[in-house]
Structure 1
């Protein structure tokens, strides 16, 4: 199997405004430039941006254009997922158009691996949906049901994945298993560990879907700026620390893929680790 690298960036959350707490919005531009310079030397096969590219404000469009200008300097193709802050000041269609996203969730294969990109703002009140849309309406219902159940993650800045996307995910993972592909899944919102306040509203359902076929190596996301890591039933759940946090410390990762492991080399706040993936199915 061909070995290759890919890179992951989370929560750039750039905005031309003053810092608030641990979030240094303007400094994200310099960090992203530093990241681009290194990645152009490493030459990964592709780069994944797992949501909250901008912080969202009255200047969202200008902020997004400025960040896109930096991303355009990267030699490798950049793939996006949607985050809650991406839609503060921009509609869903505007954000997707300016980032070149054809679909809110999608997949592709590379060197015997399957990469899956989820839209965790599919059902959401902060997902860029018009309030008259079904996605917004169903998002409100899911949020209310989650709150009624007393879940810690019943918060407006989280979201859910709808039935159509869940069915699509099951089909993609099943097809990958039949074709002997190992899988890495990306999203913005975490699904693990259970009960965390940053989690997807239907996180337990998605965990079941990810773990059922036995060929998913990892789920990589952002949203929880502190980051986290855990393994459950063979799936490795990695939440990337946010690039926006900290005045000077950067945050991104380069992942080396081989037939039996993922070697994650973290930069700044991201820990380095190895994930064994030597078994094609079952517990990885």
Structure 2
């Protein structure tokens, strides 16, 4: 079903659990600006969007947790204000009545070192990694991917992961400005510095998690700042090695949905193996008075995203 289709009115059963979602708050105490393609961004108003999200989530007595899909502060935030800006947003998240699970996005990495972010976000990290998993119920498992595992931002300049990322960019993107996709065609436009990739160790970890989930008869929801399906997002927004990640996902039948942010306009597609890909709409592009957040009701056979305003409600029914 496409986003915007009316949600079923015949669902009488209560959800197994529910969780809040928001992405790309990109707060900064600066005047409004525009994206590289000219879309308005409302840096101060995004804080109000988050505040309204927290109020809404807290009024929904059955939300078990919430997910922040990354980019809580904007790259244009003055660097001497970065820590204070991150803390301000985290203080707002702390007003939510349940736990909040965070992902690291490129704008986060423009502002603070990776090790600071994993600590501030309470991400269980080994050597700066930001992938982890949790099970809110015996039937479901959430896998949080680190989309900037291989990245030219966030790691020290002499880190092997930085070197690997730079080799990829130099091989795939001939532009002097590696954030510029100009001249690249089709899906190759993803090879820009504001994206990243998933390394071999994380891919092996994902494979092991999905194998274990299959053995436990669990359904898996993949969460990642960067989208994984070209049909759901612009090519400039895709994970560098989305194809390798999808190959791992498609080895198993346990993955039911992949949720992401980064591509601010949002998107939705169902892939060849019946996996739902939902890219969430960004808070930072909400004009004053509008919103982009929601919550997801989780059932045995579907996810139902109930969106506010610019976040489109979506019913994702699993294949039998």
Given that residues 15 and 297 in structure 2 are in contact (C-alpha distance below 8 angstroms), is that contact kept between their aligned partners in structure 1? Answer: no
The 1-side partners of 2:238 and 2:307 are apart by 23
Question: What is the aligned counterpart of 1:125 among 131, 144, 152?
Answer: 152
TM-score by length of 1: 0.94
| Correspondence 1:120-269 to 2 at 5 A | 120-126=147-153, 128-147=154-173, 151-193=188-230, 196-232=235-271, 233-248=273-288, 249-269=290-310
Cα displacement string for residues 243-267 of structure 1 (whole angstroms, at most 9, x for unaligned residues): 0102222111211011111111111
Max Rg structure: 2
**How far did 1:215 drift?**
1.3
C-alpha deviation, 1:102, in angstroms: 2.0
Q: Give the whole-Å Cα distance in 2 for the aligned partners of 1:272 and 1:2.
A: 16
Q: Pick from 99, 102, 118: which aligns with 1:96? A: 118
SS in structure 2 at match of 1:135: helix
Residue aligned with 1:45, SS: strand
Distance 1:166 1:145 in 2: 22
The DSSP-based 3-state class of the residue aligned with 1:230 is: strand
TM norm structure 2: 0.83
Question: Cα gap change, 1:130/1:186 in structure 2, threshold over 3 Å: closer, same or farther?
Answer: same
Displacement of 1:212 after TM fit?
A: 2.0
Which of 4, 27, 38 aligns to 2:56? It is 38
> Which moves more between the two structures, 57-66 or 78-87?
57-66
Post-superposition CA distance 1:130-160 (Å, at most 9, x none): 1111111111122233337961111110000
User: How far apart, CA to CA, are the structure 1 residues paired with 2:136 and 2:123?
Assistant: 19
Aligned partners of 2:15 and 2:264: how far apart in 1? 33
**Other-structure match for 2:315:** 274
Aligned length: 278
Q: Which moved more, 1:145-154 or 1:86-95?
A: 145-154
Return the offset for 1:119: 0.3
